[in-house]
């Protein structure tokens, strides 16, 4: 882990705990609590080359649509770098799509940049760098099915 010399061990530990809680709630697929706890009203999320999503209601709608198509989601954190105004997180994301008879795990690496001052509880901006095409392909394959689990 890389850390700034400006930060004390308690700040680093608190930031790491914040990241772990962020992903634990995200992986629970419980959108409302996750959005309310980690995002400012005007937060922005960038996913690669997709248009930015701005504001908690836009984020809430997007993730409710996404999560309704998922059986499960898991982020395995590989590396966390803490700085006074941002946190870098390297992870491996694993998704299982609803209605997929194989329940195939779709895995891909991701890097997230959380723009958050060290003493703040919520992130103003999150930049996510990943290639979601394997997940999007699998979602497309099974999203039109009318099965309910």
Domains in the chain, ordered, with CATH? 9-142 (3.10.450.50)
User: 143 Cβ partners below 8 Å, 6+ apart?
Assistant: 69, 97, 99
Tens digits of pLDDT across the chain (149 residues): 555 568 999 999 999 999 999 999 999 999 999 999 999 999 999 998 899 999 999 999 999 999 999 999 999 999 999 999 999 999 999 999 999 999 999 999 999 999 999 999 999 999 999 999 999 999 999 875 544 43
Confidence at residue 148, expressed as pLDDT on a 0 to 100 scale: 42
92 and 78 Cβ atoms separated by less than 8 Å = yes
pTM, rounded to two decimals:
0.90
Confidence at residue 110, expressed as pLDDT on a 0 to 100 scale: 97
User: 58 Cβ partners below 8 Å, 6+ apart?
Assistant: none
Residue 146, helix vs strand vs coil: coil
């Amino acid at each position: 882990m890389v850390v700034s010399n400006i930060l004390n061990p308690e700040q680093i530990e608190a930031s790491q705990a914040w990241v772990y809680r962020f992903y634990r709630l995200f992986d629970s697929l419980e959108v409302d609590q996750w959005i309310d706890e980690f995002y400012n009203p005007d937060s922005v999320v960038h996913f690669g080359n997709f248009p930015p999503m701005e504001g908690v209601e836009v984020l809430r709608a997007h993730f409710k649509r996404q999560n309704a198509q998922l059986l499960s989601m898991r982020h395995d954190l590989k590396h966390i770098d803490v700085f006074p105004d941002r946190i870098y997180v390297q992870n491996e994301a694993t998704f299982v799509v609803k209605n997929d008879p194989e329940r195939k795990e779709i895995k891909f690496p991701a890097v997230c940049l959380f723009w958050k001052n060290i003493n703040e509880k919520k992130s103003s901006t999150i930049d996510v760098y990943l290639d979601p095409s394997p997940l999007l392909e699998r979602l497309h394959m099974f999203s039109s099915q009318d099965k309910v689990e």
